[in-house]
Amino acid sequence: MTPNILFQSDTVLVIDKPAGLAVHAGPSGGPSLEAHLPALQMGKRHLPQPAHRLDQDTAGCLVLGRTRPALAELGGYFARGEARKTYWALLVGDLPGESGEVTAPLLKTSTARDGWRMVVDAKGQAARTLWRMLGRAEGLSWVEFRPLTGRTHQLRAHARHLGHPILGDGRYGGGAGAMRLLARRIQLPGIDVTAPVPGHMRAEIARCGG
């Protein structure tokens, strides 16, 4: 099924990417957004292309450029930090406090046993994330994340650094199952789009008062 379109203009699409759908086809195969691009072309000369990254297991707002000039312009917004991204996540355990900022540099590391991941390391790239508590339930915290930088796996690694990994994020200690991370809102010049809460997060957000 083609992902739902949340916003459409002559030059830009914002789609609701399902969790589990990779943005780019990988060497091991599996479903990817690339297979759906012809259905999203809708008369344009070129296939739409994603303007930024979104992890395979993250649901929510993904921005695509429908023309080459639009894609270049969108890429500039993301590169200059002019795109405001808001995420919702369900974290394992009771995160203390109501808001805060994680300032922890991230470095990519790899082992034969566990594969690659991002770790907090002084030799890594600077990474900053704002967080705000939205609700709590026993053993669970519902938080809003706003990344101020765009490092790979930034929210996942920063959640682990807080001692409360994202629920379902097996790579960073959050256990098995679907990862509870949603790209909830994207704001760009002239664009403000919000994604609905996916089915695999609704019950737990309701437990937390949402």
By annotation, the residues acting in catalysis are 55
Q: Which two tokens stand for residue 154?
A: 């930034």
Strand partners, 90: 142
Tell the residue number behind the tokens 């990779």, with chain if given. Answer: 22
Q: Phi-psi bin for 175: left (phi > 0), alpha (psi -120 to 50), beta?
A: left
DSSP tag of 125: B
- The whole-angstrom separation of Cα 83 and Cα 34 is 23
Q: Which two tokens stand for residue 74?
A: 């969108």
Strand partners, 142: 90, 135
- The whole-angstrom separation of Cα 89 and Cα 153 is 13
Count CA atoms closer than 13 A to 203's CA, side-chain side. Answer: 2
